[in-house]
């Protein structure tokens, strides 16, 4: 009887561990690939709901690409120019971490301090992140407001 109970306990532990790995793999698979920034919103830190401001991405910035790979590599490629004359401006590369349990992501581009985010939406076609550091009060209520960035495929 003790052997059966012990076997059951180890089986339950193994199944739980596999489930977490499956979630991590599933979300990493959804995240991998190229993402284009479509919108940035500033949301009030007072209630985390009230819209303070919106920036819809236009011009050459619509060509900017953030790339995530499942080996935790990240790159950000930017374009600049006027009108439809967009030229490659540069690429930065680095590493990221992602915790599926609390949805926290940290991106560290080479030679730059780490940036912390919370993944708010992650689907096959949309990624929305909340910036957790370097935010400022933008509506004058003396409470730090948060920047949310929305990406699409």
pLDDT of res. 13? 46
pLDDT tens by residue, 13-70 = 444 544 555 878 899 999 999 999 999 999 999 999 999 999 999 999 999 999 999 9
Beta-carbon neighbour count of residue 80 at 10 Å?
A: 15
Beta strands 51-56; 126-131: pairing state = unpaired
pLDDT of res. 7? 47
Per DSSP, helices labelled H in the chain are 2-31
User: What is the residue whose two structure tokens read 């780490």?
Assistant: 114
pLDDT tens by residue, 112-148 = 999 999 999 999 999 999 999 999 999 999 999 999 9
What pTM did the predictor assign?
0.83
Cα separation, 153 vs 147, whole angstroms: 20
Annotate 8-17 with b (16+ C-beta within 10 A) or e (fewer).
eeeeeeeeee
């Amino acid at each position: 009887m003790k052997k059966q109970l012990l076997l059951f306990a180890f089986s339950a532990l193994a199944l739980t561990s596999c489930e977490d790995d499956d979630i991590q793999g599933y979300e990493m698979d959804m995240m991998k690939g190229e993402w284009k920034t479509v919108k940035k919103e500033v949301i009030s830190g007072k209630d985390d709901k009230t819209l303070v401001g919106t920036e819809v991405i236009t011009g050459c910035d619509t060509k900017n690409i953030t790339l995530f790979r499942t080996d935790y590599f990240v790159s950000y490629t930017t374009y600049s120019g006027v009108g439809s004359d967009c030229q490659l401006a540069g690429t930065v590369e680095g590493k990221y971490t992602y915790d599926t349990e609390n949805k926290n992501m940290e991106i560290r581009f080479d030679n730059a301090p780490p940036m912390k985010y919370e993944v708010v939406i992650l689907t096959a076609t949309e990624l929305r992140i909340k910036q957790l550091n370097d935010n400022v009060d933008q509506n004058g209520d003396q409470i730090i407001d948060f920047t949310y960035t929305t990406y699409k495929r």
